[in-house]
């Protein structure tokens, strides 16, 4: 689903208005956004200064066109973005190849991240080596255990021969500078990863204006990440476009960037979207507690698994559990 194109019965007639925003003609070259100062924040204990927004390669399959994906990546570099997010599984590895076509020429200017979903030492190292080949680099700045879904999932990472052994070995060998983990299903899984290991450098979690109302990463995980001085990355800023039923792009992105995080990955699919996000970041305003609370209050009607379909559906599970069972006659 395109980040800013709403689909399905939830959004109905709003789709046309948002689609018109997406397909507006690109401004003339003379009026194109020029590179400017995108705010930077020190990425927790890593000490690296990152732009508060970064390009997320996970949306490249929606573009579906190498030339346009490469152009988007080049434009991000031109505009001063230095944080680039991808993963071994994105577009069956082709997302990494797109970055590999652009970023080697500016390798010393960018912070490059990728991820592995394999939970074993051997499998994770195989994924990393292939990722490095696709990215045309001999190291990534950040390598992450990807898509932790449950406490059982976390246990696999730390079992004998588990993925954590690969991550520690890769960091020691210089194939990655920092290690972290990601996930978006349930904050309990993130807390399990934090309990199991003290040496994470970074964390990535879904953070957006409706998150506090349902299985909240902002309420349950973010405070501990801040306490540990982890490099904190956000994602799902726009709720896969569903938040645009009630909020502007500026409101969504401003809310996330007013949380105590360092950067957030933005899933652009057009140059116009990218430049919109850069403009918002360049003119970012501090929101007070009352403004943040007002935004959260407006998001309350949208809460729950229909919006956040990437999270566990505990509401349906509870409903099924409480339903009377048929015992036969």
Q: Averaged over 231-238, what is the pLDDT?
A: 98
The dihedral built from the CA positions of residue 236, 240, 242 and 247, taken in this order, carries a sign that is: positive
Q: How far is 196 from 191, CA to CA, in rounded Å?
A: 9
What is the pLDDT at residue 316? 79
Looking up tokens 């059982």, which residue turns up? 152
Q: How far is 67 from 179, CA to CA, in rounded Å?
A: 31
Class of domain 48-313: alpha beta
Question: 30-50: per-residue pLDDT in tens?
Answer: 346 777 799 999 999 999 999
DSSP state at residue 319: H
DSSP state at residue 259: S
On the 0-12 / 13-18 / 19+ scale of CB atoms within 10 A, 195 is exposed
Report pTM.
0.88
What is the pLDDT at residue 326? 38
Residue 98 has pLDDT above 80, yes or no: yes
Residue 250 has pLDDT above 90, yes or no: yes
Q: Please, which pLDDT band fits residue 63 given cuts at 50, 70 and 90? A: very high
CB-based contact 27:37 (threshold 8 Å):
no
CB-based contact 275:79 (threshold 8 Å):
yes
CA distances in angstroms from 106 to 37, 78, 81, 144, 229, listed in the order given: 18, 10, 12, 22, 28
- The domain spans of the chain are 48-313
Q: Which pair of structure tokens corresponds to residue 183?
A: 């996930």
CA angle centred on 90, ends 212 and 83, rounded to 5°: 65
Residue 3 has pLDDT above 70, yes or no: no
Per-residue b or e along 255-285, where b marks 16 or more CB atoms closer than 10 Å to that residue's CB? bbbbbebbbbbbbbbbbbbbbbbbbbbbebe
CB-based contact 292:263 (threshold 8 Å):
no
Q: How far is 283 from 152, CA to CA, in rounded Å?
A: 42
Overall residue count recorded for the chain in this entry: 329
CB-based contact 167:124 (threshold 8 Å):
yes
Question: 268-320: per-residue pLDDT in tens?
Answer: 999 999 999 999 999 999 999 999 999 999 999 999 999 999 999 998 765 43
On the 0-12 / 13-18 / 19+ scale of CB atoms within 10 A, 98 is buried
The dihedral built from the CA positions of residue 166, 177, 225 and 238, taken in this order, carries a sign that is: negative
Q: Averaged over 241-248, what is the pLDDT?
A: 95
CA angle centred on 112, ends 111 and 115, rounded to 5°: 140
Question: 109-140: per-residue pLDDT in tens?
Answer: 999 999 999 999 999 999 999 999 999 999 99
What is the pLDDT at residue 34? 72
> Mean of the per-residue pLDDT values for the chain?
89
Q: How far is 316 from 5, CA to CA, in rounded Å?
A: 27
Question: 275-288: per-residue pLDDT in tens?
Answer: 999 999 999 999 99
CB atoms within 10 A of CB 308: 24
CB-based contact 140:104 (threshold 8 Å):
no
Q: How far is 278 from 266, CA to CA, in rounded Å?
A: 10
Q: Please, which pLDDT band fits residue 4 given cuts at 50, 70 and 90? A: low
């Amino acid at each position: 689903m395109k980040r800013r194109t709403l689909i399905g019965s939830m959004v109905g007639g709003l789709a046309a208005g948002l689609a018109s925003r997406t397909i507006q003609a690109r401004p003339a070259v003379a009026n194109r956004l020029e590179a400017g100062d995108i705010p930077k924040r020190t990425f927790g204990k890593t000490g690296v200064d990152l732009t508060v927004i970064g390009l997320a390669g996970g949306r490249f399959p929606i573009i579906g066109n190498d030339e346009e994906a490469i152009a988007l990546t080049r434009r991000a570099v031109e505009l001063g973005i230095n944080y680039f997010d991808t993963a071994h599984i994105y577009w069956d590895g082709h997302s990494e190849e797109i970055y590999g076509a652009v970023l080697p020429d500016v390798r010393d200017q960018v912070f490059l991240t990728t991820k592995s979903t394999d939970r074993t030492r051997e499998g994770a190292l195989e994924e990393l080596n292939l990722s490095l080949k696709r990215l045309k680099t001999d190291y990534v700045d950040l390598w992450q255990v990807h898509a932790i879904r449950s406490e059982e999932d976390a246990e696999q990472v730390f079992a004998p021969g588990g993925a954590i052994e690969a991550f520690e070995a890769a960091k020691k060998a210089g194939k990655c500078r920092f290690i972290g983990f990601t996930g978006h299903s349930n904050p309990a899984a993130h807390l399990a990863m934090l309990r199991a290991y003290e040496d994470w450098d970074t964390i990535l979690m879904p953070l957006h204006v409706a998150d506090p109302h349902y299985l909240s990463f902002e309420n349950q995980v973010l405070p501990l990440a801040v306490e540990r001085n982890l490099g904190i990355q956000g994602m799902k800023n726009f709720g896969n476009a569903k938040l645009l039923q009630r909020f502007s792009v500026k409101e969504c992105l401003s809310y996330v960037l007013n949380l105590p995080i360092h950067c957030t990955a933005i899933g652009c699919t057009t140059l116009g979207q990218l430049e919109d996000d850069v403009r918002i970041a360049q003119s970012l305003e501090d929101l007070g507690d009352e403004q943040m609370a007002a935004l959260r209050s407006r998001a309350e009607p949208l809460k729950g698994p229909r919006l956040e379909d990437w999270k566990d559906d505990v509401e349906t599970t509870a409903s099924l559990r409480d339903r009377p069972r048929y015992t036969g006659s």
